[in-house]
Amino acid sequence: MRLKVISRSTDDFTRERSQDLQRVFRNFDPSLRHQEKAVEYVRALNAVKLEKIFARPFVGAMDGHIDAVSCMAKNPNHLKGIFSGSMDGDVRLWDLATRRTVRQFPGHQGAVRGLTVSTDGRILVSCGTDCTVRLWKVPVATLMESDDGSDNSSQPLAVHVWKNAFWGVDHQWDGDLFATAGAQVDIWNHNRSQPVNSFEWGKDTVTSVRFNPGEPNLLATSASDRSISIYDLRLSTPARKVIMSTKTNSIAWNPMEPMNFTAANDDGRCYSYDVRKLNEAKCVHIDHTSSVMDIDYSPTGREFATGSYDRSVRIFKYNGGHSREIYHTKRMQRVFCVKFSCDASYIISGSDDTNLRLWKAKASEQMGVVLPRERKRHEYMEAVKNRYKHLKEVRRIDRHRHLPKPIYKASRQIREMTESARRKEERRKAHSAPGSIKNKQLRTKRIVREVE
């Protein structure tokens, strides 16, 4: 007679030390787990509910300006440094870790409209409505510098006076040139007091300028004549232009897909374009109820943040039509500028109430040191939630957001107006000759024409 004996070694399930984790043996055979999907569904529900409970996106506010914050700039070589400029001509360097002012850069006699930092992180360029471009030496943002009692103001390395007011500035991602936007697009060098090149297409004011992250000689601008223009520094004339129905306030290139850029528009929408095909938008991002004032991409290129006149900050996926997150406070007024941090973990917004605010890019993310077991738990919950995100209850909880009453009412009014316009178009088409009225897609409806 043959006997089967279950033999187990005590070394397999006995802890060597009292601090060790207890060993647990599980059989992952699917035939033994008939309720596995039901259990995972409940876990997905709990995960999305816990994400709502622990959603605390606001980190803190940085107070110091005495007028509205009009522009900001990141230092590509220093993670926790952020520059801000205000409407009273004040330029400041902030330490995000301590949320204190490290250095002030006095000198502008009017509103500061543009800030940018050189590729090596050593030179700060500022411009404004006082018709000057100022170059500053960037200090190292340390707590010791911000705490000492000495004078923490700096003197400019160079001051270039020009004929017209400036509305924006941007530095090459790789090079020594920077561009200013005003009555025309001027290309400057650090060592020259005059522009090395100038571009002009029409007589309207250029309001923003952005260099391409992949091709250093390519830049995009937006102007007050509702146009978005593409310039190539290797050519003597502008390359292409697309004219929209409403004005574009800001432009941001996707750092991971340099052929794509997104434009923040006055109609409360953002339009993503492929620079090779400007006659149609790749994606239309809708949710804001007022003009979108600024836009900035995450370093990962998978999402971007927008600041709007409706006093809110929203985060969109690069290919998503609706925002995945909205940030707002009772005290925050119209948002004029917004930036992602260089590690894609935080968002900084500057608004009309003179404050800079620091937000978490992921509202429920745990701050501080995360243990390996906690990290694995978060990853598992995120995977379960993504597996069941298409189900009705999980999707409803995940999409729900509490909105301020003005934004809620404005959103409802916009939906009613859109639905009314759609019904009117359907009735007009039904009572017209077949083929006489063609439906225009939303991606092409706001584009007037393309000029080459």
Tokens standing for residue 16: 């060597």
Q: With respect to residue 386, please indicate whether it lies within any of the assigned structural domains.
A: yes
Residue 451: phi and psi, rounded to 5, are -120, 135
The packing angle between helices 36-53 and 392-399, to 10°, is 10
Beta-bridge partners for 277: 274
Tell whether 21 is covered by a domain: no
**Is the pLDDT confidence value at 149 over 70?**
no
Amino acid identity, position 120: D
Q: Is the dihedral of CA 368, 315, 324, 380 positive or negative?
A: negative
State how far the Cα of 253 lies from the Cα of 234, in Å rounded to an integer.
20
* 24-46 pLDDT per residue, tens: 777 778 788 888 889 999 999 99
**177 shares a domain with 47:** no
pLDDT score, position 147? 47
41 and 180 both lie in a single domain: no
Tell me if 125 is assigned to some domain. yes
How many other CB atoms sit within 10 Å of the CB of residue 398? Answer: 17
Rg of the chain on CA atoms, in Å? 26
| Structural tokens at position 58 | 């606001």
pLDDT, mean of residues 349-363: 95
- Name the phi and psi angles at 133, rounded to 5: -115, 125
Would you say the C-alpha torsion 286, 205, 164, 190 has a positive or negative sign? positive
The total number of structural domains that make up the chain: 2
Listed residues 342, 359, 380: the one ending a domain: 342
- Residues 115 and 141 both lie in one domain: yes
Strands (E), 182-266: 185-189, 197-199, 206-211, 218-223, 227-232, 240-244, 248-253, 260-265
Residues 51 and 84 in one domain: no
Same domain? 257 vs 148: yes
How many other C-beta atoms can be found within 10 angstroms of the C-beta atom of residue 93?
25
For the chain, give the number of residues.
452
Four-residue CA torsion sign, 357, 312, 112, 66:
negative
With respect to residue 52, please indicate whether it lies within any of the assigned structural domains. yes
pLDDT number for residue 142: 44
How far apart, in whole angstroms, are the C-alpha atoms of residue 161 and residue 58? 40
Q: Are residues 191 and 159 in the same domain?
A: yes
pTM for the full predicted model: 0.88
Q: What DSSP designation does 181 have?
A: E
Both 239 and 95 in one domain: the answer is yes
- Grouping H, G, I as helix, E, B as strand and the rest as coil, residue 254 is coil
Number of Cα atoms under 13 Å in the Cβ half of residue 324: 14
Same domain? For 42 and 72 the reply is: no
Judgement on whether residues 90 and 132 belong to the same structural domain of the protein: yes
Tokens found for residue 263? 């434009």
Q: Which residue in 56, 44, 50 sits closest to 382, CA to CA?
A: 44
Task: Please indicate, yes or no, whether residues 191 and 229 belong to a single structural domain of this protein.
Answer: yes
Query: CA 303 to CA 310: how far, in whole Å?
Result: 20
Find the mean pLDDT for residues 162-188. Answer: 93
Q: What are phi and psi of 290, to 5 degrees?
A: -145, -175
The span from the CA of 9 to the CA of 74, in Å, is 59
Of 16-25, 222-231, 370-379, where does mean pLDDT reach its minimum? 16-25
- Determine, yes or no, domain membership for 165: yes
- pLDDT tens-place string over residues 264-284: 999 999 999 999 999 999 999
- CA dist 48 to 328, 365, 398, 402, Å? 21, 13, 6, 16
The answer to whether residue 116 sits within a structural domain is: yes
Residue 142 and residue 206 share a domain: yes
- For range 9-19, the mean pLDDT: 77
318 neighbors 303 (Cβ within 8 angstroms): yes
Which whole number is the average pLDDT over 411-432?
Answer: 93
- Taking only the tens place, the pLDDT of each residue in 86-114 is 999 999 999 999 999 999 999 899 999 99
Within 8 A by CB and 6+ apart from 77, the residues are: 120, 121, 122
Listed residues 399, 418, 443: the one ending a domain: 399
pLDDT above 70 for 133: yes
Is residue 253 domain-shared with residue 394, that is, in the same domain?
Answer: no
* Domain of residue 40, residue span: 36-57+371-399
Here the CATH number for the domain that contains residue 66 is 2.130.10.10
**Would 97 be classed as within a structural domain?**
yes
Mean pLDDT of 196-204: 85
Query: pLDDT band for position 151 (50/70/90)?
Result: low
Confidence of residue 326 (pLDDT cuts 50, 70, 90): very high
- Indicate if the pLDDT at residue 450 is higher than 90: no
Domain assignment of residue 173, yes or no: yes
Distance CA 170, CA 219 (A): 9
